[in-house]
Amino acid sequence: MSVIKRFAAACLILLIFSCATETIKIYSFNIQIFGVSKMSKPEVVDVLVKIISGADVTAVQEVRSAGADPVTQFMSLLPPAYRHVIGPREGRGRSKEQYWVIYNSEKLTVRDCAVWPDPDDIFERNPFAVYFQTKDKFDFILINNHIQPSAAAAEIEALPGLVSYFQELWNEPDVLVAGDFNADGAYYDESLLETIFPKEKYLTVITNEYDTTVAESENTYDRIIITSSAREDFTGKFGVIRFHEVYEFSRYAITPKEVSDHYPVWAEFRLDKDTD
């Protein structure tokens, strides 16, 4: 090959790499009673660190610790670029939970965050929204929620109102609603979800045929739903991480349920396609 041809080939390779679309992966994960007890199990923590290190953003539900130490300790085990925001302790009774959002600061910054004010006191745990800005065009709002099983119908029905509220608050149309919806099984008729999130306004990424629980029964409790404006940013790639299959649990002395009774769900988004 001549010097000129080698140079042309090298330039083509550089062009291909420079034009490669950068993406982010967004996870939603109900870690199940995250706190001191879970952080005291090294193998459980090892699996959790591996899972969350694979995401650029993770919306975590069920942080139950009354103190900040478990969250602080866990963050110290992640790559240095990872940061987090965490909401207030939520819940009407003695059992309180926090929403925790972990993100890769090399790809994203937090413009703002807020708790849904819930003027009609619908939610057991008021959802927590984070307004993200990426280093490219894709800015978006992530609403993290954990639906109360006994009030699933009322809380799910109220979620589109939250979407509109945060869209107006931050003048941003792209919204991702993620979390443990408890939108299946004895708690909720999953066929109703499409009436709450109609196809002309939303895309339900994690649909009814996916099993998101570690239990033997198959239920789609965990969801990622995006507004129609964010379709242009969605790569079409998504899934459920069956962590006991991915991380070779045969070498661990723990069961999958010790990590969580839920699997993480994920979706991938482009950073360069946003037009709104």
Instruction: Decide: residue 261, CB within 10 A, 0-12 exposed, 13-18 middle, 19+ buried.
Output: middle
Backbone φ/ψ region at 32: left (φ over 0), alpha (ψ -120 to 50), beta: left
pLDDT of residue 16: 37
Backbone angles phi, psi at 44, to 5 degrees: -65, -45
User: What CATH code is carried by the domain that includes residue 118?
Assistant: 3.60.10.10
Which DSSP string do the residues of 32-53 spell out, in sequence order? EEESHHHHT-HHHHHHHHHHHH
**Domain that includes residue 244, residue range:** 19-270
Structural domain contains residue 13 = no
pLDDT of residue 178: 98
Distance CA 206, CA 223 (A): 5
Query: Residue 205 gets which letter from DSSP?
Result: S
Query: Considering its fold, how many domains does the chain have in total?
Result: 1
Q: What is the pTM of this model?
A: 0.92
Largest CA distance in the chain: 76
Structural domain contains residue 3 = no
pLDDT of residue 273: 87
pLDDT of residue 20: 59
pLDDT of residue 21: 75
61-97 burial, b if ≥16 CB within 10 A, otherwise e? bbbbbeeeebbeebeeebeeebbbebbeebbeeeeeb
CB atoms within 10 A of CB 224: 23
Q: Which positions of the chain have pLDDT values less than 70?
A: 1-20
Structural domain contains residue 89 = yes
